[in-house]
Amino acid sequence: MINLAILISGRGSNMEAILRAIKKKKILAKPVVVISNKPGAKGLEIAQKLGVKTVVVDSTGLKGISWEYDQKIIATLEENNVTSRNGLVCLAGFMRIMSPQFILHYKGRILNIHPAILPAFPGLHSQRQAIEYGVKYSGCTVHFVDEGMDTGPIILQAIVKVKDGDTEESLSKRILKQEHRIYPKAVRLYAQGRIKTKGRKVILL
Ligand code: GRF
């Protein structure tokens, strides 16, 4: 069974969706630790209520990529037995960019959810970018994390129609509903060993 770690910075609703799916035995994985870089993250309370260990690795004052900081994350992961052999690291609203060294360490074992149909609208405020661009459809993407910004191989995507009069909030809300559906699904596929990559293409077995 894989040992799962979830990294958050805030609300933690995707984390909650994954943890609940594990509770319901829809995903066969051991949720060993939730790590937040922000001491007050709301998701920390949710994780605790669900009986999952939480650790804060505070990044206050740190700007940009930091291998030094990421080594603290690796140390926390390894203390909790999330290793480069048995672990899966899910970024769920984790607002830091990981260093290339970190990504190499957990190569093929880091997932992220992004609130747009990648490669469109990477980076921050994707829902606002989608509305301002005038696209008729947006959605969300679960992907492997590589050294780029939201550029890793795509595992699952879900489409959401952009309605006339949508605001960043209203669109975000509908996209989030789909995020909560496809992120647990991707973790389940991973835990079942059903995700294969060929270059940047993902094949679901
Ligand atoms: C989600 O919209 C996710 O796609 C993005 O950050 C947000 C995190 O929300 N990466 P939550 O903390 O999971 O509620």
Instruction: Calculate how far, in angstroms, residue 13's C-alpha sits from the geometric centre of ligand 1.
Output: 7
Q: Give per-10-residue mean pLDDT for the chain (205 aa).
A: 98 98 98 98 98 98 96 98 98 97 98 98 98 98 96 98 97 98 98 97 98
Counting ligand 1 atoms within 8 A of each CB, the residue from 45, 98, 176, 178 with the most, and so the one to mutate, is 176
Q: Are 2 and 91 found together in one domain?
A: yes
Instruction: Read off the pLDDT of residues 120-149 as tens digits, 9 standing for 90 and up.
Output: 999 999 999 999 999 999 999 999 999 999
The share of the chain scoring above pLDDT 70, in percent, equals 100
Instruction: Read off the pLDDT of residues 191-205 as tens digits, 9 standing for 90 and up.
Output: 999 999 999 999 999
Say how many domains are in the chain: 2
Instruction: Calculate how far, in angstroms, residue 128's C-alpha sits from the geometric centre of ligand 1.
Output: 14
Q: Are 100 and 138 found together in one domain?
A: no
Predicted TM-score (pTM) above 0.95: yes
The boundaries of the domain holding residue 42 are 1-107
Q: Are 124 and 179 found together in one domain?
A: yes
Q: Are 62 and 133 found together in one domain?
A: no
Q: Ligand 1 pocket, 114 CB below 6 A?
A: yes
Tell me how far CA of residue 144 lies from CA of 24, 40, 88, 167, in angstroms.
Answer: 25, 27, 11, 29
The mean pLDDT value of the chain amounts to 98
Q: Ligand 1 pocket, 150 CB below 6 A?
A: no
Q: Are 54 and 120 found together in one domain?
A: no
